[in-house]
Amino acid sequence: MNSKISLIIPVYNECNEIENFFNNLKNCNFNLINEIIFIDDFSIDNSSDLIKQKIIEFKKLFFDTNFLLLNNFKNRGYGFSIKKGVKNSINDNIAIIDLDRTYKIEDLNYLANEYIINYRLKFDLICGEREINTSNTSRLKIAGKTLINLLANFSFNEKIIDYNSGLRIFNKKKFIKHIKMMSDRFSLTTSMTLTFLNENYEIKFLKIKYDSRIGQSKLKFIDFFRFIYTIFSLLFYYKPYKIIIPLALPIFLMFISFLIKDISEGNLTDKTLLLFNFSFLLIMLLFIFDRINKIK
**pLDDT score for 116:** 97
3-class SS string, 202-223: CEEEEECCCCCCCCCCCCCHHH
Domain boundary among 197, 223, 238: 238
On the question of pLDDT at 1 being above 70, the answer is no
CA distance 33 to 25: 11
**pLDDT score for 214:** 67
> 38: helix, coil or strand?
strand
On the question of pLDDT at 290 being above 90, the answer is no
**pLDDT score for 167:** 98
Percent of residues, the chain, with pLDDT higher than 70: 96
Helices 78-87 and 188-198 cross at an angle (nearest 10°) of 60
Judge whether 40 and 15 are in contact, CB under 8 Å: no
- 216 and 190 in a common domain: yes
- 273 and 193 in a common domain: no
Global pTM reads 0.87
Domain boundary among 238, 270, 285: 238
Distance set, CA 274 to CA 236, 243, 257, 259, 260 (Å): 24, 21, 13, 11, 15
- 190 and 71 in a common domain: yes
Domain that holds residue 264: 241-295
**pLDDT score for 133:** 86
Q: Tell me the pLDDT tens digit for each residue of 28-47.
A: 999 999 999 999 999 999 99
- 223 and 121 in a common domain: yes
Which residues are paired to 36 by β-bridges? 7, 67
**pLDDT score for 42:** 97
Mean pLDDT (the chain) is: 91
Domain boundary among 238, 262, 279: 238
CA distance 296 to 289: 10
- CB-hemisphere CA count at 13 Å for 35? 20
- 246 and 213 in a common domain: no
- 230 and 248 in a common domain: no
CA distance 55 to 83: 21
- 79 and 48 in a common domain: yes
**pLDDT score for 16:** 94
Residues 6+ apart with CB under 8 A from 55: 38, 67, 69
Average pLDDT over every residue of 199-204: 96
- 245 and 209 in a common domain: no
CA distance 36 to 96: 10
For β-strands 66-71 and 33-40, DSSP reports them as: parallel
Q: Tell me the pLDDT tens digit for each residue of 220-271.
A: 778 888 888 899 889 888 888 888 888 888 988 999 999 999 899 888 899 8
The type of residue at 151 is: L
CA distance 226 to 230: 6
- 286 and 200 in a common domain: no
Average pLDDT over every residue of 133-148: 83
- 259 and 228 in a common domain: no
- 227 and 253 in a common domain: no
**pLDDT score for 293:** 67
**pLDDT score for 245:** 85
Q: Any idea which of 98-102, 199-203, 236-240 has the lowest mean pLDDT?
A: 236-240
Split at pLDDT 50, 70, 90, the class of 92 is very high
Domain count, the chain: 2
Question: CATH number for the domain including 184?
Answer: 3.90.550.10
Helices 139-156 and 221-238 cross at an angle (nearest 10°) of 10
Average pLDDT over every residue of 168-183: 96
**pLDDT score for 29:** 97
CA distance 253 to 188: 39
- 194 and 80 in a common domain: yes
**pLDDT score for 142:** 84
**pLDDT score for 135:** 79
Split at pLDDT 50, 70, 90, the class of 216 is low
